[in-house]
């Protein structure tokens, strides 16, 4: 069955116009457009086909009518009559030989759209149309190639991909470090780079919140071997069960996320499953930085509000002193108990975990919905709240997308259990205390590392309810029924679990409370990842 977004792609009229400027100027430009009714999206690629690097570029686009621009990306635009002049931004002006940069904009037309003429370096380009019409009446562009040196290296990696609207961009990461980003055209193209980095190969995408903004990854070639996207099990941006992150084994990235194509040949370990020991340093080796990395933070510590589905929701965020915008920080959510508040959790140093972290993590304490005593997730609104917060943090701060955690006691433990079941592909580990499976969730089905504690004399949330929740995670992680003692006593760890997804069970002699060792034990557990 074709999704609505795929239908929009198939039914839209696509143009591709290769426009080649004089090699005296070293730069070439190409244009393609997606049109509908009286609207259009234009995507422009500027390429350096010369033998020397350029430190800036300017493109002129001559339309046969007013361009009617409503928004743009990746370039500074000026309009004079029917002419649009685009100048590089501070981040994409330097192009080495063979490198390219993309930009685009949206606008309106009079119902009879024609591709603009493109020129670079003051030399007008040719305007011959090269296209083929498919059976669904769309116009498909010819296959192209974009390459860059990415700093050079011994390993050549090629990504074959396409965007839906021509405004999407992907980032290639190796071992947790960004190698190269490309703005995609609407036709399948090869994007190549060379690197000496080792570790897991991630192709990442950040949705621009457009309903049909999707990326299709055909395959990755590394070491001469083709790895098909649909064969990869780790796809955190897949769409399934009517939500992001709910699917796997897909060519598609529909929302924030990445496809893991496995390790570069010669890598000794996988960045997505390797453990790291606790460290007093703020650095997280092997981390996967969010899109907010490298930019000054757009979010300050303290209380903030966010509108989710017409409802005003609030949270408190704690950002370490001396925040480093280039360091991906662990992100820890601390959910409050029944009748509690974000302020209670923040005042308690996020269940004491902030003191254990020693400046290596960003902490968040969300507030329950107005009129509720806890995390009822009515009509999925608490999970929607969580996803909105995650999007805000990814874009505004430098967080480690491979190290996101959830902790909480009582109702906060119930919310952590729910998060672990519904968002196992987003969160690395959870630490529920005195919780149960009472907060509604949609089960993702995947494994997630879990540290679980429950008092044997709990008269508020019965001990059996905690055992039932534990058993669900033991099953999801494919653990055996065998356990071995682990520190601190009386905790045990289940054996035979999926690699990187342990389950620790801490049954202690107590009531409806957290064990005395909760803070230190949970942080030690989180620090394993």
* Three-state secondary structure string covering 195-244: ECCCCEEEEEECCCCCCCCCEEEEEEEECCEEEEHHHCCCECCCEECCEE
The CATH number given to whatever domain includes residue 186 is 2.60.60.40
For residue 333, tell me if it sits in a domain: yes
Q: What is the pLDDT of residues 137-190, one digit of tens each?
A: 222 233 334 444 444 557 889 898 888 877 788 889 887 778 888 888 877 788
- Same domain (yes/no): 113, 178: no
Question: What does the DSSP 8-state code read for residue 125?
Answer: P
The answer to whether 527 touches 278, Cβ cutoff 8 Å, is: yes
Tokens (6 digits) for 8: 């929009």
Domain boundary among 141, 161, 196: 141
Q: Report the relative pairing of strands 169-174 and 200-205 from DSSP bridges.
A: antiparallel
- Same domain (yes/no): 483, 373: yes
Domain boundary among 114, 141, 168: 141
Count other C-beta atoms under 10 Å from residue 264's C-beta. Answer: 21
- Same domain (yes/no): 147, 128: no
- Same domain (yes/no): 504, 455: yes
In a 3-state reduction of DSSP, which class is residue 61? strand
What is the pLDDT, as a whole number, of residue 243? 65
Burial class of residue 98 in the structure, from the number of CB atoms within 10 Å of its CB (0-12 exposed, 13-18 middle, 19+ buried)? middle
- Same domain (yes/no): 107, 163: no
For residue 281, tell me if it sits in a domain: no
For residue 92, tell me if it sits in a domain: yes
Contacts of 344 (CB under 8 A, 6+ apart): 336, 337
What is the pLDDT, as a whole number, of residue 4? 38
Token look-up 């757009």 returns 298
- Same domain (yes/no): 490, 367: yes
> What total of structural domains would you count in the chain?
3
pLDDT per residue rounded down to tens, the chain (529 residues): 333 333 333 333 333 333 333 333 478 888 988 777 777 878 888 888 877 788 888 889 999 998 988 767 778 888 888 889 888 876 677 887 878 888 888 788 888 889 999 988 533 333 322 222 222 222 223 333 444 444 455 788 989 888 887 778 888 988 777 888 888 887 778 888 888 888 889 898 876 555 566 888 989 988 778 888 888 878 877 777 666 666 667 888 887 788 888 888 765 433 333 333 333 333 444 568 899 999 999 999 999 999 999 999 999 999 999 999 998 999 999 999 999 999 999 999 999 999 999 999 999 999 999 999 999 999 999 999 999 999 999 999 999 999 999 999 999 999 999 999 999 999 999 999 999 999 999 999 999 999 999 999 999 999 999 999 999 999 999 999 999 888 898 999 999 998 889 999 999 999 999 999 999 999 999 988 8
Domain boundary among 141, 165, 182: 141
Q: What is the pLDDT of residues 334-352, one digit of tens each?
A: 999 999 999 999 999 999 9
What is the pLDDT, as a whole number, of residue 69? 84
- Same domain (yes/no): 46, 26: yes
Widest pairwise Cα distance in the chain: 81
What is the pLDDT, as a whole number, of residue 246? 62
DSSP string, 360-378: SEEEEEEPPPTT-SS---G
The CATH number given to whatever domain includes residue 67 is 2.60.40.290
Q: How far is Cα 317 from Cα 260, in angstroms, rounded to an integer?
A: 30
What is the pLDDT, as a whole number, of residue 393? 96
- Same domain (yes/no): 389, 509: yes
In a 3-state reduction of DSSP, which class is residue 347? helix
Please report which helix (H) or strand (E) contains residue 420, including its range.
Answer: helix 411-422
Q: What is the pLDDT of residues 236-248, one digit of tens each?
A: 777 776 666 666 6
What is the pLDDT, as a whole number, of residue 232? 83
φ, ψ for residue 412 (rounded to 5)? -65, -35
For residue 113, tell me if it sits in a domain: yes
- Same domain (yes/no): 50, 62: yes
Q: How far is Cα 253 from Cα 398, in angstroms, rounded to an integer?
A: 21
For residue 6, tell me if it sits in a domain: yes
- Same domain (yes/no): 166, 154: yes
Contacts of 441 (CB under 8 A, 6+ apart): 377, 383, 417, 418, 419, 421, 422
In a 3-state reduction of DSSP, which class is residue 118? strand
- Same domain (yes/no): 325, 381: yes
The answer to whether 220 touches 178, Cβ cutoff 8 Å, is: no
pTM exceeding 0.75:
no
For residue 430, tell me if it sits in a domain: yes
What is the pLDDT, as a whole number, of residue 151? 45
Range(s) of the domain holding residue 50? 1-141
Q: How far is Cα 429 from Cα 500, in angstroms, rounded to an integer?
A: 10
For residue 287, tell me if it sits in a domain: no
The CATH number given to whatever domain includes residue 461 is 3.40.50.1820
For residue 279, tell me if it sits in a domain: no
- Same domain (yes/no): 202, 71: no
């Amino acid at each position: 069955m074709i999704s609505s977004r795929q239908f929009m792609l198939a039914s839209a009229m696509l143009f591709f116009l290769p426009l080649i400027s004089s090699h005296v100027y070293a730069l070439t430009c190409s244009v393609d457009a997606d049109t509908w009714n009286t609207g259009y999206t234009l995507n422009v690629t500027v390429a350096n086909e010369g033998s020397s690097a350029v430190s800036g570029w300017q493109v002129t686009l001559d339309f046969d009518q007013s361009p009617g621009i409503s928004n743009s990306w990746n370039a500074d635009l000026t309009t004079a009559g029917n002419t649009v002049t685009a100048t590089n931004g501070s981040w994409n002006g330097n192009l080495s030989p063979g490198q390219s940069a993309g930009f685009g904009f949206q606008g309106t037309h009079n119902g009879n759209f024609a591709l603009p003429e493109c020129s670079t370096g003051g030399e007008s380009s040719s305007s011959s149309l090269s296209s083929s019409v498919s059976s669904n009446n769309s116009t498909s562009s010819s296959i192209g190639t974009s390459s860059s040196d990415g700093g050079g290296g011994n390993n050549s990696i090629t990504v074959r991909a396409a965007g839906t609207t021509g405004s999407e961009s992907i980032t290639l990461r190796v071992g947790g470090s960004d190698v190269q980003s490309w703005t995609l055209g609407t036709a399948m193209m090869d994007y190549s780079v060379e690197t000496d980095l080792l570790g897991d190969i991630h192709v990442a995408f950040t949705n621009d919140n457009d309903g049909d903004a999707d990326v299709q990854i055909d395959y990755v070639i590394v070491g001469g071997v083709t790895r098909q996207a649909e064969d990869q099990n780790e796809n955190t941006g897949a769409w399934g069960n009517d939500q992001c992150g709910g699917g796997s084994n897909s060519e598609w990235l529909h929302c924030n996320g990445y496809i893991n194509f496995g390790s570069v040949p010669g890598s000794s370990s996988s960045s997505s499953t390797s453990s790291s020991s606790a460290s007093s340093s703020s650095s997280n080796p092997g981390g996967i930085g969010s899109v907010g990395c490298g930019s000054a933070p757009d979010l300050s510590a303290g209380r903030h509000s966010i509108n989710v589905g017409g409802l005003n929701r609030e949270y408190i965020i704690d950002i370490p002193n001396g925040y480093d915008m280039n360091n991906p920080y662990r992100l820890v959510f601390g959910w409050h108990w029944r009748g509690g508040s974000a302020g209670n959790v923040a005042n308690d140093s996020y269940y004491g975990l902030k003191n254990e972290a020693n400046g290596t993590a960003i902490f968040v304490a969300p507030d329950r919905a107005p009129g509720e005593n806890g995390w009822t997730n009515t009509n999925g609104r608490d999970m929607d709240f969580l996803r909105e917060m995650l999007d805000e943090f990814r874009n505004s701060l430098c967080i480690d997308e491979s190290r996101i955690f959830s902790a909480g006691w009582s109702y906060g433990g119930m919310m952590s259990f729910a998060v672990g079941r519904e968002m196992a592909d987003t969160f690395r580990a959870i630490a529920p205390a005195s919780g149960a499976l009472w907060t509604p969730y949609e089960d993702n089905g995947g494994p997630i590392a879990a540290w679980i504690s429950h008092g044997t004399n709990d008269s508020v949330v019965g001990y059996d309810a905690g055992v039932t929740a534990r058993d669900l995670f033991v099953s999801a992680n494919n653990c055996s029924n065998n356990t071995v003692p682990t520190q601190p006593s009386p905790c045990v760890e289940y054996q035979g679990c999926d690699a990187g997804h342990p389950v620790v069970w801490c049954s202690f002699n107590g009531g409806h409370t957290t064990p005395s060792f909760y803070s230190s034990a949970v942080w030690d557990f989180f620090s394993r990842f």
